[in-house]
Amino acid sequence: MRIFALKGSEQFGDAIARSMWTEVERHEERDFEDGEHKARPLLGVRGEDVYVVHSLAGDGSASANDKLVKLLFFIAACKENGAARVTAVVPYLAYSRKDRQTKSRDPVTTRYVAQLFEAVGTDCVMTLDVHNIVAFQNAFRCTTVHLDTRRLFSPSIRALADGLPVTVFSPDGGGVKRAQLLKETYEAETGEAAGFGFMEKRRSGGVVSGDLFAGDVTGSAVFIVDDMISTGGTMLRAAKACRANGAMKVYALAAHGLFGEGSQAMLDDPAIDGVVVTDTLTSAARAASGRPEGRVEVLPAGPLVGEAIRRLSANGSITDLLGSPG
């Protein structure tokens, strides 16, 4: 087995490797003056089971487009040089939001990205809490492995609730299933009952609307769950609605903390008691830095991904790892 982590994902790659009692392998990445790029493994991969780690969120060092192309080219180089199997370990998978046509002549970018992975010979794509799991699984023809953070979040929910009744809440209709699954996992892990709620959200031309609020949050600790936090507007809107409906505490939970432009307002707003994300992106640590302790909690996801890699390599059970209720 060979594990590589491309530039920008070194910390997460190292965390995966440490959890497996191994090290990330050496590779070369080179940018030419005109913006072209070259990457190659610095040891033999012929006949090997290769795992390439790279999260595809754009940041100050590289855009999502650049990261995607570099990952694709590195996978192709491994296949070119005889790798028996190459798995793309993409904790945050870019372009997952545009998974269907909502307006005339819209692209279906999720499917196009899947075709790019398949075109370079990718054998398997592993990701964590993708935006829409059904669209993800249907877009790819190669093997896919979808991991989720439910078991990572359950202990934090119990600790942060501090004895208050727990309500798991979706900030929009599209995340209802995600919130329901987290509720079920929390109840199975702790033996405690949890409430459930969601609110309506419609977006058109950049304008968000929708007033429906479902669920009783009065006197409870509410945990609003989504796959990602980008600007934070969706989370803050839901948090204020929960406060208005009697919530005692409100926390925002997401696998991926992108924390893009405008997210500072959400991170510092008193309507939210705290934010819990994983370390799939380096932006999570930056958001936590300089803020009061506990304001942004960053959970390690490397051991989860490392165990999934170990099981995939040994033909073990991913279902048992996730412990999916029902």
How distant, in Å, are the alpha carbons of 31, 106, 158, 244 from that of 216? 54, 37, 19, 12
Of 133, 210, 134, whose CA–CA distance to 171 is shortest? 210
Residue recorded with tokens 């699954």: 181
Collapsing DSSP to helix, strand or coil, 194 comes out as strand
DSSP assignment letter at 140 = -
- Look up tokens 């490392």; give the residue: 306
Catalytic residues: 201
* Triad 79, 85, 86: Cα angle to 5°: 70
CA distances from 198 to 9, 121, 203, 213 (A): 34, 40, 16, 6
The Cα–Cα gap between 140 and 110 comes to 9
Task: Check residue 111 and give left, alpha or beta (phi > 0: left; psi -120 to 50: alpha).
Answer: alpha
Gap between the Cα atoms of 33 and 23, Å rounded? 31
Parallel, antiparallel, or unpaired: how do β-strands 143-147 and 124-128 relate?
parallel
Give the whole-angstrom CA distance, residue 103 versus residue 98.
11
Q: Strands (DSSP E) along the chain, which ranges?
A: 2-5, 27-31, 37-41, 49-53, 85-90, 124-128, 143-147, 166-170, 194-199, 202-204, 207-209, 213-214, 221-229, 249-257, 274-278, 296-299
